[in-house]
Amino acid sequence: MSQKYTIQAEARFGPTFAPNILHDSPHLRVVIIALRAGQEIAAHTGDEGVFFVAAGRGRFYGDGGDVDIEAGAIVIVGAGERRGWFAEDDLTVLVARAAPEA
């Protein structure tokens, strides 16, 4: 079933990070990450994914090195690779993750 979302309307900022899962199926998970300035998601590993920075700026921690990110940036991460985030400003990221292969 098709559904329309607006990234900023779906951003759920709070005192601690909690992802807003927009879609979850056996093949694809779509999530909104919303971090207030100063909040962080510690580096961790996960499934292959595409991360689109919709608003704000910060730092991305990855296996390819740590990089500054800003609105409009796209980060592609392979399965099992390290990823983490630090928000310098309020940061909103749209995530599309492939489900792990069976």
Q: Please state the domain extents for the chain.
A: 13-98
Residue with tokens 């399965």: 79
Topology at the third CATH level for domain 13-98: Jelly Rolls (2.60.120)
Please tell me whether residue 79 adopts helix, strand or coil conformation. Answer: coil
pLDDT classification of 101: cutoffs 50, 70, 90: low
Instruction: Encode pLDDT of 39-89 as tens digits.
Output: 999 999 988 999 999 999 999 999 989 999 999 999 999 999 999 999 999
Which of 20, 22, 27 lies closest to 2, judged by CA?
22
HEC assignment per residue over 23-46: EECCCEEEEEEEECCCCEEEEEEC
